[in-house]
Amino acid sequence: MTLDFAPRPGAAPVRRMVLAQTVMETRLLMRNGEQLGLALVIPLLLLVAGTEATRVVDLGPGRPIDIITPGVLALAIVSSAFTSLAIATGFERRYGVIKRLGTTPLPRWGLLVGKIGSVLLVQIAQLVILVLVALWLGWDPHGGAASYAWLVVLTLLGTAAFAALALLLAGTLRAEATLAVANLVYVLLVVGGAVLVPLSRYPEAAQTFLSLLPSGALSEAIRVVFEGSAPPTTSIVVLVVWAAVAAALTARTFKWE
């Protein structure tokens, strides 16, 4: 019996390379307890703190769980798509992982798509868990299936915007600076980024500015859809613009080492 091997030199199809990168990124993310804690544990704790029995901030009129749940969903997207991704990518650059990937046939945009794809896979589990816990705590969303369909759309838009910003940050700064800036931005958004606290609870002078931030646009849109309405067009536009601009800048400035 004669075996006839025919060598096929060359790179694999781009689609297969991106898929393999996405799978690898997802495995690395699932092994990192710190990132999983940031993406799931903190949002869960804040969700529980939003119930009537443990109310810690004035969220305005209405049931606290109904007010804070959309904000927690938005915060979960920010946690995984921005903070966790920025820190992980920053240290991958520091340890030479990104540099080695740069020597492979994987294109630069393929690396970015692979990382964003892994974030989306994690977010599926993340949002399902948060929604189930919120319903168990008494959350009463409106809008039916349409509201959850809008949540999927807004998750995609929010992830695109924040992941592009995370990669822009991680691809230009040193790992230590990325760690500090990503955590600082995360805290600032939690405290005053119109994420947990509705936009209407801020002074009028600040509302316009906050509505133009991706955090404010995302959380406000999620709140509106779970009130039974379509998301504001301005929120959609804000997220698309942030995603497009940040992605373009990332593609031009991302450094492999």
Looking at the 3D structure of the chain, how many domains does it have? 1
Does residue 226 lie within any of the structural domains?
yes
Does residue 143 lie within any of the structural domains?
yes
Answer whether residue 233 shows pLDDT above 50.
yes
227: which DSSP letter? B
> Higher-confidence residue: 7 or 47?
47
Residue 49: Cβ-neighbour burial (10 angstroms; 0-12, 13-18, 19+): middle
Kindly report the three-state secondary structure assignment for every residue of 50-82: CCHHHCCCCCCCCCHHHHHHHHHHHHHHHHHHH
Of 110-124, 140-154, 205-219, which range is least confident?
A: 110-124
Does residue 1 lie within any of the structural domains?
no
Does residue 41 lie within any of the structural domains?
yes
> Higher-confidence residue: 121 or 155?
155
Host domain of residue 84 = 14-253
Max mean pLDDT among 32-36, 64-68, 203-207, 240-244 falls in 240-244
Answer whether residue 5 shows pLDDT above 80.
no
Does residue 62 lie within any of the structural domains?
yes
pLDDT tens digits, one per residue of 25-80:
777 776 666 666 667 788 888 888 766 544 556 666 678 888 889 999 999 999 88
Confidence of residue 223 (pLDDT cuts 50, 70, 90): very high
Answer whether residue 157 shows pLDDT above 60.
yes
Does residue 203 lie within any of the structural domains?
yes
pLDDT tens digits, one per residue of 167-189:
888 888 888 888 888 889 888 88
Of 14-18, 29-33, 236-240, which range is least confident?
A: 29-33
Q: What are phi and psi of 201, to 5 degrees?
A: -85, -5
The per-residue pLDDT of the chain, averaged, comes to 82
Average pLDDT rounded to a whole number, residues 114-123: 82
Does residue 7 lie within any of the structural domains?
no
Inter-residue contact 243 to 235 (CB < 8 Å): no
Does residue 104 lie within any of the structural domains?
yes
The model's pTM is 0.85
